[in-house]
Structure 1
Amino acid sequence: MTVLEMLRGARPSADADDTGGEPTPSWLPEPVRDVGVGLLTALVSLLVVVVPTVLGWLLDPRAGDSFADPLGAGASLWLLIHGAHLGAGATNVAFVPLVLGALVVWIAARGAGRALDTADVDDAFAADLLPRSVLVVAGRWWLGYAVGTGLAAALTLAGSLPLRWLSLPVALAVVPLVALALALRRLARAADVLGPRLDAVVLPDTVRRAAGPAARGLALLLGAASLVVVGAVALRWGEVTSLQSELGAGFLGGLLLVAAQLAALPNLALWVVGLLAGPGFSVVDGAHTSLAGATSGLMPLVPVFGAMPGPGEFPWFVRLLVLVPVLVGGHVGRRSLASVARLSSLRTKASVAVVACCLVAVAVGVLDGLGGGSLGAYRLGDIGTPAWWTALAVAFELLVGALTVVAWDAWRLRR
């Protein structure tokens, strides 16, 4: 039995025995149990980051470092994944590997779901939103998670990656709230927990029909961009492995470095989306890469950056890559047509396609904004692709492809 399962049993259960069934007495008060689940959720998530950091240090300790240094570094990285910023003075690190971010949210959602499983879904609604018991349990779980976040913040004082304390509220809010929303969504599927106010909120039919095509379009766009990243690494494999060996990270350290770069693959894919859409991206200030060409700059010692193209203008046919988002838009248009009746009006079909393209563009902008764009100070203070310019360019190119498909479909029907 896991610790979370033990805590889950703290509330009375309705298990029946031969005599008709008496509630099993809890061994923890309900408030303590709910806070404990939140605290354990945060600690489990924290260990996922701290344990590899400490293991890497144990196998390759640095002279003068104490055991507190990797603990503090791991806690800093965990808070960074939650959206907090690190650094002091002009140095600001704000970069969230999106794979690790998704993992942290998943762990938090699982913990929140365990806590909400024992809430009384038949309790009276609070402000016609959710049952009071659900809101109380959610609040206690969040309090426990906040305590765990506070412990992680205290651990950063022992490391060399200082926390920017003004950004701590972001770590306290974003991941726990997203996790609670996911847990409540799962609970709402199993029980009627939405009050009249929430139950009355209905998405427009156009948005509901556009959600599926938008999800497929986003997956296709990021998948194509990820293939570009993998292809660039394969083409310049020698430069990438040379940088990896120059770092002297050792075997386990090398594995951790590779894992960290794989965790940032969606971030790099978003940079490539910016490249395909037109705005391009920068690894350091003064080293910009677009479909027209690349400029040089002193790169940070990150092996994957060895896959960057050399400085100079690209051949003319590279500019044709701007058609990739247009082709993805065509796929979104096809899926949008499939989501409505064949004889629906042109306005209905076009509306679904436009909304789907806009949803993809907004998702690209939000994901790039969440991923962050700073790895240090000065020339590393603003990296990646401009999120909102990229979102606007993606929206335009997707719309070109999607509306072309919708117009072609309308022309075929009128023949």
Structure 2
Amino acid sequence: MPPARLVRGAFAEEGRERWHPDRQRSACAPGVGRHLGGDWNAMTVMEMLRGGRPSDDADGEVSSATPWLPDSARDVLIGLFTGLLSLFVVLVPTTLGWMLDPRPGGSLAEPLGAASSLWLLVQGARLGSGATVVAFVPLVLGALAVWAASRGASRALDRADVEDEFVADLLPRSVVSVAARWWVGYAVAIALASALTLAGSLPLRWLSLVLPVVGVPVLALAVAGRRLGRDADILGPRFEAVVVPETARRAWGPAVRGLVLLLGLALLLVVGAIVLNWGAVSSLQSEAGTGFLGGVLLAGVQLASLPNLALWVVSFLAGPGFSVVDGAHTSVTGSTSGLMPLVPVFGAMPEPGSHAWVTRLLVLVPVLIGGYVGRRALTGVARLSSLRTKASVAIVACAMVALTVGILDWLGGGSLGAYRLSDMGAPALWLTLILGSELVVGALTVVAWDTWRLRR
């Protein structure tokens, strides 16, 4: 083989050994990227923060130069950029809407403050002053905020040393340090957004910043840590001593399936109600007078709130029902009227009055879903297991479903103002208790039937 081919083959093999799937390069504009006779792609901001610009050594190999930022500063900046990029997603359309339809005598500070307030609201903060409280979180937007934060946290944790010594036998010291620095940067972004809210008309309730400052970063770091844990074992010896009860492990699968079935059915009912009452919904949309861009934003917020409405439907099926405003309650027995807020999707609400007796049979839906959870629980245990074992798995699975629904309803909030708008949605506590009871009845019925068949 010619020497030139041998040399090229050696460099190809070495290049394959140095390549890592996480080191992706962005596309380069035509004519850009020539460096000492070699091609290299333009790097993104996150890649620059991760440290290392491509350079050629004496042998002509492409290697990583000394990071241009210390690791501590890099991790903090990634956390800061993570929060600011997420903020810009809300800030840009809000500012564009204000520029297309500015208020007389208004200033640019108003949309900046409003966008910052909405961004913090999506992450769980509360707005308002005095008796006015705005506490409604579209669950889709809240999930997107956690996902975006987890992507930034993953970028920061990419360079953590998973082989470092453990802190209190929990996590590697490097992972803890990187996560803490990223958290500081994200907290700075929260602080900047909180300062911008002072210029808007939606004041912030400062004590409610616990969720944006603590809750969202913790969830984001947990998701990022799970991704990191797929490639390396980052859990210390102390986690190995934590043993999940066998009943809980067996109940996890049936609980997930039951929750998906319950929320999926409720979501289908919401979409069906909107389709059947599309005339009223579209009429309210046009009466809102928000303009084109405002109408698009209003429609987007309503789409993001469909899971919240699905939780209201779950409460409707379970029995407690839900309220849109004080004095306008909807349950299987009937609906009462009230002065409704001008939200187009509320045009799909049932007409005021008593419902037919058949509607009351809808309370059997959670019981039937509980039966499905019980059936799935039986498949996770041995056929000849004791009645106590089978019933325990079924009950724990039903409790998981009810608690998850209650927590989601609590996180979604239920207030859009003061007085009549101060308490809307489903009562989280009563929903959890009643729904859990109905699920358990259905699950235990299936378990008892299975046991009776075995003893015949």
TM-score bucket (shorter structure): over 0.9
TM-score, normalising length: structure 1: 0.95
Q: 2:8 maps to which residue?
A: none
Equivalent residues in 2 for 1:380-399 (5 A)? Answer: 380-399=421-440
Compare 333-342 and 293-302 and name the one that shifted more.
333-342
Q: Which amino acid aligns with 1:219?
A: V
Q: Greater CA radius of gyration, 1 or 2?
A: 2
Q: 2:113 maps to which residue?
A: 72
Q: Return the alpha-carbon distance in structure 2 between the equivalents of residues 179 and 121 of structure 1.
A: 18
Q: 1:408 maps to which residue?
A: 449
Q: Return the alpha-carbon distance in structure 1 between the equivalents of residues 115 and 427 of structure 2.
A: 29
Q: Return the alpha-carbon distance in structure 2 between the equivalents of residues 263 and 366 of structure 1.
A: 18
Q: 2:20 maps to which residue?
A: none
Deviation at 1:408, TM superposition (A): 1.9
SS for the counterpart of 2:66 is: coil
Q: Return the alpha-carbon distance in structure 2 between the equivalents of residues 116 and 18 of structure 1.
A: 32
Q: 1:84 maps to which residue?
A: 125
Deviation at 1:158, TM superposition (A): 1.6
Determine which structure has greater relative contact order: mean sequence separation of CA pairs < 8 Å that are 6+ residues apart, divided by chain length. 1
Structure 2 counterpart of 1:35, from 67, 76, 79? 76
Structure 2 counterpart of 1:123, from 164, 176, 180? 164
Compare 396-405 and 51-60 and name the one that shifted more.
51-60
Q: Return the alpha-carbon distance in structure 2 between the equivalents of residues 34 and 196 of structure 1.
A: 27
Q: 1:308 maps to which residue?
A: 349
2:208 counterpart of 1:145 = no
Compare 194-203 and 381-390 and name the one that shifted more.
194-203
Compare 332-341 and 134-143 and name the one that shifted more.
332-341
TM-score, normalising length: structure 2: 0.87
Taking only the aligned residue pairs, the percentage that are identical comes to 70
Structure 2 counterpart of 1:132, from 173, 185, 205? 173
Equivalent residues in 2 for 1:68-217 (5 A)? Answer: 68-217=109-258
Q: 1:361 maps to which residue?
A: 402
Structure 2 counterpart of 1:9, from 41, 47, 51? 51
Compare 343-352 and 246-255 and name the one that shifted more.
343-352
2:93 counterpart of 1:58 = no
Q: Which amino acid aligns with 1:161?
A: L
Deviation at 1:378, TM superposition (A): 0.8
CA offsets 1:285-329 (integer angstroms, 9 cap, x no match): 111111100111101111111111121110000001111111111
Stretches of structure 2 lacking an aligned partner (at least 5 in a row): 1-42
Q: 1:45 maps to which residue?
A: 86
Stretches of structure 1 lacking an aligned partner (at least 5 in a row): none
Q: Return the alpha-carbon distance in structure 2 between the equivalents of residues 244 and 87 of structure 1.
A: 25
SS for the counterpart of 1:288 is: strand
2:411 counterpart of 1:370 = yes
Deviation at 1:236, TM superposition (A): 1.7
Q: Which amino acid aligns with 2:314?
A: V
Deviation at 1:63, TM superposition (A): 2.5
Q: Which amino acid aligns with 2:45?
A: V
Q: Which amino acid aligns with 2:334?
A: G
Q: Return the alpha-carbon distance in structure 1 between the equivalents of residues 104 and 362 of structure 2.
A: 49
Deviation at 1:19, TM superposition (A): 9.2
Q: Return the alpha-carbon distance in structure 1 between the equivalents of residues 66 and 345 of structure 2.
A: 56
Q: Return the alpha-carbon distance in structure 2 between the equivalents of residues 95 and 345 of structure 1.
A: 45
Q: Return the alpha-carbon distance in structure 2 between the equivalents of residues 251 and 137 of structure 1.
A: 44
Structure 1 counterpart of 2:371, from 307, 327, 330? 330
Total equivalences in the alignment: 413
Q: How big is the alpha-carbon RMSD for the aligned residues of Structure 1 and Structure 2? A: 1.9
Tell me if structure 1 keeps the 8 A contact 2:51–2:66. no
